[in-house]
């Protein structure tokens, strides 16, 4: 019986050592090893101490979709685009709403230079959207002194 008791004690001791080793290994592998240099810690504290105020995004829906003809190699096509403008802050939203007729005119001029080949490809549509944005920003700077519009969004696009 003494021999059985010694075996049991030995098995328990080995089990305790294995459990302790597993616990220490887990602690070492999953411990907090994200020690930062003092410069990084200072930068993180500065950025969290004074976050830049982010103005809310507002979407100004232009009341009517744009319908226009575009020229192509074989035949002309009719295109209809629904547009929304993304602006930041109440002031820019009010400016965009105040100047909707001017923005619509500017967009129609920008859309008028498009071709069927350009509008068939996603890159061409992105290019047209970027050109329209630049035209609207330039117009708003002339009229209101600020670009006001951050993005021109196509929320509907049909080409027949």
Q: How far is CA 4 from the centre of its chain?
A: 69
pLDDT band at 155 (very low <50, low <70, confident <90, very high): very high
User: Is a pLDDT exceeding 50 seen at residue 2?
Assistant: yes
User: In the structure encoding, which two tokens stand for residue 35, read together?
Assistant: 């020690």
Distances (CA, A) of 71 to 12, 89, 113, 121, 149: 87, 38, 9, 15, 29
**Helix, strand, coil share (%) of the chain residues, nearest 5:** 60, 20, 20
| Per-residue model confidence as pLDDT tens digits over 43-57 | 445 555 555 567 899
Residues 93, 127, 79, 62: what is their CA dihedral angle, to the nearest 10 degrees? Answer: 0
The structure's pTM equals 0.65
């Amino acid at each position: 019986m003494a021999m059985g008791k010694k075996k049991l004690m030995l098995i328990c001791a080995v089990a305790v050592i294995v459990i302790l080793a597993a616990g220490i290994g887990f602690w070492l592998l999953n411990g907090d090893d994200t020690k930062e240099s003092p410069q990084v810690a200072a930068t993180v504290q500065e950025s969290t101490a004074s976050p830049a105020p982010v103005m809310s995004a507002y979407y100004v829906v232009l009341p009517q979709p744009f319908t226009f003809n575009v020229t192509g190699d074989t035949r002309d096509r009719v295109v209809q685009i629904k547009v929304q403008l993304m602006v930041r802050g109440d002031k820019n939203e009010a400016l965009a709403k105040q100047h909707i007729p001017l923005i619509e005119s500017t967009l129609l001029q920008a859309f008028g230079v498009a071709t069927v080949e350009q509008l068939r490809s996603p890159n061409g549509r992105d290019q047209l959207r970027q050109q329209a944005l630049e035209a609207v920003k330039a117009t708003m700077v002339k009229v209101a002194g600020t670009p006001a519009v951050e993005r021109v969004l196509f929320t509907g696009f049909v080409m027949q």
